[in-house]
């Protein structure tokens, strides 16, 4: 019996040593076939645009095709759950935004824990949120808009209940400014913009990129952006910080994740490639033109940022009186 146990222990040790030897070799060879990017939103949106922009540049760096596949739905939970359950070999990469955190917190059975099930590779191309109004609304700043909301009823549109722009604006109005505006949710940013242009609502809140051409054309009025600095795409639109509301300084990030058990060497190789693309001058110019911030964060740092953000959004949701369903 003792001899059998010793043999089994030796075999286990040998297998462990073999695995330790093979892992670096596998990482060194990676990738040997196509890498697939699973985008957590439908085609045509901002996150999808970033994914396709990066895929084109990642392919020559990695030496293999990089394919984009859209798996939209449930604010990122569908794609997140799918990738978390895939083989942790670096060939299945999730591209998602903070909406996935919010969906996790607002869903009683999300089937996903970002901190437990996913490993951050890198974060790139954050988007400001922007508050816009019809051109004829008699306000020119966020403070004036809040003051008007205290005088009469106003409606605001967003890309949906629980979206980052909606929660951020709800936090501003309900928790900070103590005014009430009626939320009118829409399926996406395009519909929320149309609602403001057609005067169905007095205010729309959404991510910056789809609003840029409309504000530039004078079809909508930019009231405030939620980044610490003004956006290069709309330099005349002040920040929420300038208006006296520093606590709603927030962005919608675009992040790359892999299954949590992906070997570190593979995750690091992916991270290096993504950050190399993010640093390319032509990519920075293109992102700025589209209304994204041309910045990036390495995976290890961003993993810590995610943990902080989970706590932050949990507080925002609780203060807004929202309950997981």
Equal CATH topology for 9-126+253-319 and 128-248: yes
| Span 128-248 CATH architecture | 3-Layer(aba) Sandwich (3.40)
Question: Which sequence spans correspond to the domains of the chain?
Answer: 9-126+253-319, 128-248
Q: What is the pLDDT of residue 261?
A: 98
Q: What is the pLDDT of residue 322?
A: 79
Q: Inter-axis angle of helices 77-84 and 99-106, to 10 degrees?
A: 90
Q: What is the pLDDT of residue 74?
A: 83
3-state helix/strand/coil string of 113-178: CHHHHEEEEEEEEEEEEEEEECCCCCCCCHHHHHHHHCCCCCEEEECCCCCHHHHHHHHHHHHHCC
Do residues 73 and 111 lie in contact, with contact meaning Cβ atoms separated by under 8 Å?
no
Closest CA to 80 of 51, 115, 48, 40: 40
Q: What is the pLDDT of residue 325?
A: 81
Going residue by residue through the chain, which has 325 residues, state the pLDDT in tens, using 9 for 90 and above.
555 555 555 555 555 555 555 455 567 889 999 999 999 988 877 888 899 999 999 999 999 999 999 998 888 899 999 999 999 999 999 999 998 999 999 999 999 999 999 999 999 999 989 999 999 999 999 999 999 999 999 999 998 888 889 989 988 998 899 999 999 988 788 889 999 999 999 999 999 988 999 999 999 999 999 988 899 889 999 999 999 998 787 889 999 999 999 999 999 999 999 999 999 999 999 998 888 989 999 999 999 999 999 998 898 888 877 788 8
Q: What is the pLDDT of residue 10?
A: 56
Q: What is the pLDDT of residue 24?
A: 55
Q: What is the pLDDT of residue 45?
A: 76
Distance in Å from the first CA to the final CA of the chain: 54
Q: Is 204 helix (H, G, I), strand (E, B) or coil?
A: strand
Q: What is the pLDDT of residue 200?
A: 96
| Span 9-126+253-319 CATH architecture | 3-Layer(aba) Sandwich (3.40)
């Amino acid at each position: 019996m003792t001899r059998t146990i010793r043999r089994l222990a030796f075999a286990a040790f040998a297998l462990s040593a073999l695995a330790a030897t093979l892992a670096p070799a596998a990482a060194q060879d990676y990738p040997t076939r196509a890498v697939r990017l699973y985008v957590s939103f439908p085609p045509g949106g901002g996150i999808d645009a970033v994914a396709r922009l990066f895929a084109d540049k990642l392919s020559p760096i990695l030496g293999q095709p990089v394919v984009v596949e859209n798996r939209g739905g449930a604010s990122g939970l569908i794609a997140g759950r799918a990738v978390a359950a895939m083989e942790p070999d670096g060939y299945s990469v999730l591209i998602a935004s903070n909406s996935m955190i919010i969906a996790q917190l607002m869903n009683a059975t999300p089937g996903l824990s970002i901190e437990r099930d996913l490993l951050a590779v890198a974060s790139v191309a954050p988007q400001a949120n922007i508050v816009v109004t019809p051109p004829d609304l008699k306000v020119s700043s966020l403070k004036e808009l809040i003051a008007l909301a205290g005088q009469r009823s106003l409606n605001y549109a967003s890309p949906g209940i629980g979206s980052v722009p909606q929660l951020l604006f709800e936090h501003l109005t309900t928790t900070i400014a103590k005014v009430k505006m009626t939320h009118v949710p829409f399926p996406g940013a395009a519909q929320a913009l149309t609602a403001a242009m057609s005067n169905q609502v007095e205010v729309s809140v959404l991510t910056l990129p789809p609003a840029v051409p409309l504000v530039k054309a004078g079809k909508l009025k930019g009231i405030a952006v939620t980044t610490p600095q003004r956006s290069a795409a709309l330099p005349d639109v002040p920040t929420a910080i300038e208006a006296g509301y520093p606590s709603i300084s927030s962005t919608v990030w675009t992040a790359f994740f892999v299954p949590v058990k992906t070997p570190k060497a593979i995750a690091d190789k992916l991270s290096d490639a993504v950050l190399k693309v993010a640093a390319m001058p032509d990519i920075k110019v293109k992102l700025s033109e589209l209304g994204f911030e041309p910045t990036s964060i390495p995976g290890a740092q961003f993993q810590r940022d995610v943990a902080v953000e989970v706590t932050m959004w949990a507080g925002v949701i609780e203060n807004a009186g929202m309950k997981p369903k």
